Structure 1
Amino acid sequence: MTAAELFGINLVAMVTPMNPDGSISLPGLASLVDHLLTTGADGLVVAGTTGESPTLTDAETTQLVKAVATQAAGRAKVIAGIGTYDTATTIRRAHEAEAAGADGLLLVTPYYSKPTQAGVTAHCRAVADATTLPVMLYDVPHRTGLAMAPATITELAAHPNIHAIKDAKGDLAEAMSLMSTTALAYYCGTDDLNLPYLATGATGLVSVTGNLTAAPNADLIQAIRTGDLDTAQAVHRSQIPITTALTADSQGAPNTKAALAELGIIPHASVRLPLMMTTSCRRGGGR
């Protein structure tokens, strides 16, 4: 199977809807999934960074994966964020996600502890060896404090269970080089670079703004695939204001939740500390 068949093409890094007391809002989750499926997402990333994964318990993550997998069955792939800085814990979470119905796994570079590149390789291989689900690597050095070196990515690309990478490093020259020398499918993980990544061979997107812009993202992907660069540029330029608004802060979840709540897609814009709701929501501007 191709990476597109395993993971989808127009993926959304979902927020996790929460109630004002911080508990997960299952009605909000159902509404968000329905919105994303209706607007053209074919891959749903659950419990990733935008889903506030550092604040979710294992039980909550399993609950989220089960609920989304049930609702999206046959309509979109469900990719579970499982990465931690501990290999044993990450393997356990991979098994739990598989049992909960995930179609694939998102494996972030181990954060905070800053292992060597050999340690990163061993960690990713151990996780990929321990699951039957396809694995998408996640390279996001501005969050983890550690970038995957090109040689590491090349080595991991040879693993039979590692099929893709979500690239939030933003080094387009490196990405183009690796797309030409490995079979790894690239997914753009930085919304303001969606156009150049797709135009230079990326398979698809894992988008934060896609919580609100899955339809334009689908239009962008289609325009690139049909060689309609003028339309692709027009779509991309039309999305710059919302991309800027949602990702202006270091964490996109509060702004994205505020917008979703304002539109009535989720009932509340609540986030868990240490994240904080946007100023407008704290003053009553969000639900």
Structure 2
Amino acid sequence: MREPVFTGACTALVTPFTHSGAVNYDQFARLIDRQLEGGVDAVCVCGTTGESATLSVREHIRLVKACVRRVNGRARVIAGAGSNDTAAALRLSRHAQDAGADALLLVTPYYNKATQDGLIQHYTTIADRVEVPILLYNVPSRTGVSFTAETYQVLSQHPNINGVKEASGNFSLLSHTRALCGPDFHIWSGNDDQVVPMMSLGAEGVVSVAANLAPEAMVRMSHLCLEGDFQEAAHLQLRYQALMDALFIEVNPIPIKAALNLAGWDAGSLRLPLCALSDSHREVLRKAMEEAGLLQKPAA
């Protein structure tokens, strides 16, 4: 049986920017160190949370290299390499492989709205031409297309396709996929607020936005599930529910960058067309962070 790329918690890393809008590699290194200190099992660089859509190819390649060097074997490194152009996704995948990434995260082609056969051909074309494992990424709210369980079943037969980051929120799809593909096709939650229910159905962990801010909590939650203690994991899930909601009060990664800045990190701004969190939502986020013990409440 194929071993999963990781079990437990993987942080979907933000990409810090300087005040001039360049990548802040010093802060990026600090953020990686914080995740490793928090015990995460893997990190994902250049994903959606890392604003991959507005990174240049040169920045993308350099960030993957910087991440691999900083992690230095202390956790698995998963590199985002998706595109709506199969040739471009293949180029990014090969660059990430050459940089030393342990695996690739490939989102479904967006905007094109490929058929299920097109998805199969897209992923098979890439998987045939790389040597590191591939994690599929299903997030139809962003891309406009979703895998079916039957497509997962076909792709699961490829030795280089390890599993899927499933962020559709569709539990029927999850259960049908588990039934069709069995335990050799690994599944990870792509939604922080669904870790416990998804892992109760056989998911192996989470690719987490919240872990940027609270790595220990996401590690403990996912590891409790791996140990079969779903009751305690559920208590933890509910404790952080308000925070998880607040981190998606606007489109990711707007709130997580605001949260990191509130917590004293220099995550910087966002690249247009993403823009700063609204003042009203910032107060909601601040309150959720205070209630989660991640931000000191102001003196009365």
Give the TM-score band, short-chain normalised. Answer: over 0.9
Paired residues for 1:1-287 under 5 Å:
2-4=2-4, 6-182=5-181, 183-249=184-250, 251-265=251-265, 267-280=266-279
- The one-letter code sitting in structure 2 at the alignment partner of 1:86 is D
* Inter-CA distance 144–270: structure 2 relative to 1 (3 Å threshold): same
Deviations 1:103-142 (A, max 9, x none): 1000111110112111111000001111001000001111
1:41-99, Cα deviation, whole Å (9 max, x unpaired)? 11111111111111011110111111111111221111111111111111111111111
In structure 2, what is the Cα distance between the partners aligned to 1:211 and 1:2? Answer: 29
Does the 8 Å CA contact 1:7/1:103 hold for their aligned counterparts? no
> % of aligned pairs identical?
37
Q: Which runs of structure 1 show a deviation greater than 2 angstroms over 4 or more consecutive aligned residues?
A: 1-4, 6-9, 225-230
Q: Is the 1:22–1:272 Cα contact (8 Å) retained in structure 2? A: yes
Amino acid at match of 2:67: V
> Using the alignment, how far apart are the partners of 1:173 and 1:221 within structure 2?
21
Counterpart CA distance in 2 for 1:165 and 1:123 is 15
- One-letter amino acid of the structure 2 residue matched with residue 194 of structure 1: V
Q: Give the Å deviation of 1:280.
A: 4.7
User: RMSD across aligned C-alpha pairs, in angstroms?
Assistant: 1.9
Q: Distance in 2 between matches of 1:177 and 1:97?
A: 32
Q: Paired residue for 2:293?
A: none
Question: What is the TM-score of this pair, normalised by structure 2?
Answer: 0.89
Counterpart-to-counterpart distance in 1, 2:173 and 2:53: 29
Per-residue deviation, 1:2: 4.6
| Structure 1, 117-126 or 271-280: larger mean CA deviation | 271-280
Q: Give the Cα separation in 2 of the matches to 1:213 and 1:279.
A: 22
Q: Between Structure 1 and Structure 2, how many residues are aligned? A: 281
In structure 2, stretches of 5+ residues that fail to align are 287-300
Q: TM-score, normalised by structure 1?
A: 0.93
Contact 1:7 1:104 in 2 (8 A): no
Where structure 1 has 5 or more consecutive residues not aligned to the other structure, the ranges are: none
**2:214 is paired with a residue of what secondary structure?**
helix
Maintained 8 Å contact 2:36/2:74: yes
